[in-house]
Structure 1
Amino acid sequence: MSVRRRLRIGIEAVERSATGWFTAFLAGLVWVSMAIGLVVPSAAPWALGRLRAVADMERRRLGLPAGMPPQTSMRAVFGDPATGRETRWMLIHAVLGFFIGMLNLTIAVDIVRDGLFPLWWRIAPAADATPAIGFPLIRTQNGAWLVGLMGVGYLFLTLYVMPWLVRLMELPGRRLLKPGPGEDMAMRIAELTATRAAALDAHAVELRRIERALHDGTQNRLVAVSVLLGAARRAVVRDPASADDILARAQDASELALAELRAVVRSILPPVLTDRSLSDALASLAATCPVPVTVDADLPGRCAASVEATAYFVAAEALTNVAKHSGASHATVVVAREADKLRLRVTDDGRGGADANGGTGLTGIRRRAEAHDGTVTMTSPVGGPTTVEVILPCGL
């Protein structure tokens, strides 16, 4: 394993220790509230709600699906399997998670304290010139270097031992907070029902868009061609000199109709996606955007055509919003494949303040993503920047 990867694993272990310690601290508070709920029945619904909130926080941290709606009676602790598992997790995590998290964070702090000890021990008060584990006062530089070696030892623990401790801390959550067979099936059915509805809505919206494009654009052009051709036929008899001008106008109208028809066809599935790749399609899309766009694509392989088309149209809609509403001077499109997921992120430096629940463009993005069991996240603080991130399963 490379040094860079090992360092990344160590840093991730410290981060997970910190977040795990926080949920363990909250679990301890829930422990107290559950005890109160046993004594004061009216407090039970509130305590069970806090239990579910902290358990769901841990589920999000571990990447597990959210739980079913909680029960509202303390009898659920003993009668409902899901609530019972959450209660057992709370009791274990409040103790095990708290102490492992505290140990790991202490080690992380001691890396800095002892690793840099040779640099600061002389300027520290005499009573503080000790290593983290409380050895006697250090009086010599050689002793200070020995403490520095202890900091290196703590770094070794962080890189090689702490990840195992983190897995031990997370083990109760992974075993007790995952949904049971019945819950998992019910949640999956609800999820599939929602995504099927989203897919049907997205399909209906796309059909209406194509219908409007053909009706308002191409059809009107073809009607104009028909009218001009009729006028040209009459002009051949009455005023042959003007027939050529009318035919030229009819040709221009037919060329415009053909161009609009090609645009509609490209909007259904851009040919560049078939002929080349999603990276090339995004680069072509960026080139036509009024706002300067930088494309960063890391796609070693191809995804399913429907997934690439969804990513393309999400980027197109997001860049359209950037050009129309953001007032941005620059935008960035980043797309990468991560295991079996395709991650697309569009960021602009505009004024921000976009409403994630408003506007047909954002609604269309969400519907397209949900039709593929994808997720959409948008952050847009006032003053910017605005970021739209879409994650799509790509089946690779």
Structure 2
Amino acid sequence: MSTNDSTAGRRAARGWDAFALARARAMLDALEHLVGGLGTAVLAVVALVLVIATALTCLIGVGLLLAPVTLRVVRAVADRERGRLSRWGPEVVGPAPIPHGLRAALADSAVRREVGWVTAYPLLGVVLGGLAISLPIYVVECTLFPVYWQFLPPEEVSAQTWGLWTVHDWPTALGVALLGLGWIVVTGTVTPGMAWLQAWPGRRLLAPVSGTDLALRVVQLTATRAAALDAHSAELRRIERSLHDGTQNRIVAVNVLLGAARRALTRDPSTAEAILERAQDAAEQALAELRGVVRSILPPVLTDRSLADALTGLATACPVPCRIDADLPVRCASSVEATAYFVVAETLTNIAKHSRAGHATVAARLHDDRLHLRISDDGQGGADEGNGSGFVGIRRRTEAHDGTFMLNSPPGGPTTVTVSLPCGS
């Protein structure tokens, strides 16, 4: 065999392995989606029973008292389905809160669509979810059939082969195992379509009506624009304060010391050298503080090195032992990387000052054209945006770039900060 043929064979084998791995991953994702949909369908059955009971008892007036509770239950189940669908595809934006008053609530299009979804979804969700559970069971039963077929009664053996043939020896038992491989193919082929079909009612009825998403987006952009302006003003005040309280005072001290040294040259030249040394030290401190202010505007380390290297530098300087787990194959926009750098720097500063943690971890990933950051520590927890810990500034920086910020810090820990930024160019 020639070298070209051998290379082509290896490429074909790698291509087949990649295809098989992708199909297996799609099958597992679809099965997980279907099983999650089954759980939502069971809750939808409960909500549907409550809707029917409320509608029937309205004939005697009792249902009017139950209706607000029923609508809230329907909204809770629908929100669970929105969250599930958002994890497996495009985000399904939730509607505005249910209006006060039964008449206003029933006139709301989102409420009516949710009731329609609760009516249509349970049967489809239960059937498809049940099939999703049955298919892997068939795969396992048939594939392992040669191991236990001798211990089964004849009627169960016949049921295992679906009446296709009679199992009476090892070759026919191995045929059932081949049938299990066929079930694997069937499962991998039909489950993605089943998952799409199961999700269709939710995406059709629970998604916002035309124009709602745009209106919500306008509101969101208005809020983030205001946050960006606030963050910009706060940043200018911080720079001004740093220059006024630090660098400016150092430069004034240098000026005073130089004047004293000049007078000392005429009166007592022996003391002039000591005064000049103090002036030089003050000038060096002013220069160091000025460099710090410049770095806080746009870290020069991001110009010379990648974001992963810059984060490694932050972890090295952090008093708390910190591990960096960064998988960033490409560079993001400089403003996004600067925001990510400051988010990690501020969070590590909070960890060092307040958390009493023994270890911290920073994970950075690129996924779906977004930069995802996750900073966690094993400290005492209890962090709050409102206690002056700096998280308000982190949120403003993040939202100014149309990103998302989430803080999870229960008492006793651990504390996790999750930030997602659009990685535009």
Q: Is the 8 A contact 2:98 2:105 kept in 1?
A: no
Tell me how far 1:272 sits from its aligned partner: 1.9
Task: Indicate which of 46, 68, 71 corresponds to 1:45.
Answer: 68
Q: Is the 8 A contact 1:48 1:71 kept in 2?
A: no
Task: Indicate the SS of the match to 1:69.
Answer: coil
**1:254-293 alignment runs, 5 A limit:** 254-293=283-322
User: Within 1, Cα distance between the matches of 2:365 and 2:316?
Assistant: 20
Q: Which runs of 5+ in 1 are unaligned?
A: none
Equivalent residue number for residue 94 of structure 1? 122
Q: Which amino acid aligns with 1:3?
A: A
Equivalent residue number for residue 3 of structure 1? 20
Equivalent residue number for residue 344 of structure 2? 315
Q: Which amino acid aligns with 1:23?
A: T
Q: Is the 8 A contact 2:54 2:67 kept in 1?
A: yes
Q: Which amino acid aligns with 2:23?
A: R
Equivalent residue number for residue 79 of structure 1? 107
Q: Is the 8 A contact 2:403 2:420 kept in 1?
A: yes
User: Within 1, Cα distance between the matches of 2:293 and 2:156?
Assistant: 74
The question of 1:58 aligning with 2:78 is answered no
Q: Which amino acid aligns with 1:303?
A: C
Equivalent residue number for residue 229 of structure 1? 258
Task: Indicate which of 109, 122, 131 corresponds to 2:137.
Answer: 109
User: Within 1, Cα distance between the matches of 2:385 and 2:76?
Assistant: 24
User: Within 2, Cα distance between the matches of 1:130 and 1:367?
Assistant: 67
Q: Is the 8 A contact 2:383 2:415 kept in 1?
A: no
Equivalent residue number for residue 188 of structure 1? 217
Q: Is the 8 A contact 1:351 1:382 kept in 2?
A: no
**1:124-273 alignment runs, 5 A limit:** 140-273=169-302
Q: 1:132 to 1:21 in 2, by over 3 A?
A: farther
Q: 1:132 to 1:42 in 2, by over 3 A?
A: farther
Tell me how far 1:347 sits from its aligned partner: 2.8
Task: Indicate the SS of the match to 2:319.
Answer: coil
Tell me how far 1:269 sits from its aligned partner: 0.5
Task: Indicate the SS of the match to 1:346.
Answer: strand
Task: Indicate the SS of the match to 1:343.
Answer: strand
Equivalent residue number for residue 12 of structure 1? 29
Q: Which amino acid aligns with 2:372?
A: R
User: Within 2, Cα distance between the matches of 1:92 and 1:354?
Assistant: 43
The question of 1:22 aligning with 2:39 is answered yes
Tell me how far 1:185 sits from its aligned partner: 2.8
Aligned residues: 395
User: Within 2, Cα distance between the matches of 1:74 and 1:108?
Assistant: 46
More off after superposition, 90-99 vs 324-333: 324-333
Q: Which runs of 5+ in 2 are unaligned?
A: 1-17, 87-91
Equivalent residue number for residue 353 of structure 1? 381
* Aligned-pair Cα RMSD in Å: 2.7
More off after superposition, 292-301 vs 96-105: 292-301
User: Within 2, Cα distance between the matches of 1:101 and 1:320?
Assistant: 47
More off after superposition, 320-329 vs 153-162: 320-329
Q: Identical aligned pairs, as a percentage?
A: 52
Equivalent residue number for residue 8 of structure 2? none
The question of 1:362 aligning with 2:379 is answered no
User: Within 2, Cα distance between the matches of 1:110 and 1:357?
Assistant: 51
Q: Which amino acid aligns with 2:200?
A: L
User: Within 1, Cα distance between the matches of 2:410 and 2:151?
Assistant: 44
Task: Indicate which of 97, 114, 124 corresponds to 1:69.
Answer: 97
Q: Is the 8 A contact 1:114 1:131 kept in 2?
A: no
Q: Is the 8 A contact 1:37 1:74 kept in 2?
A: no
Cα offsets for 1:253-290 (capped at 9, x unmatched): 11011001101110110012233332232222222222
Task: Indicate the SS of the match to 1:279.
Answer: helix
Task: Indicate which of 370, 374, 377 corresponds to 1:341.
Answer: 370
Q: Is the 8 A contact 1:295 1:332 kept in 2?
A: yes
User: Within 2, Cα distance between the matches of 1:341 and 1:229?
Assistant: 53
Q: Is the 8 A contact 1:373 1:392 kept in 2?
A: yes
TM-score, structure 2 as length reference: 0.84
Q: 1:337 to 1:249 in 2, by over 3 A?
A: same
More off after superposition, 378-387 vs 314-323: 378-387
User: Within 2, Cα distance between the matches of 1:347 and 1:61?
Assistant: 25
Q: Is the 8 A contact 1:282 1:295 kept in 2?
A: yes
Task: Indicate the SS of the match to 2:314.
Answer: helix
User: Within 2, Cα distance between the matches of 1:125 and 1:382?
Assistant: 58
More off after superposition, 68-77 vs 311-320: 68-77
Q: 1:182 to 1:6 in 2, by over 3 A?
A: same
Tell me how far 1:112 sits from its aligned partner: 3.0
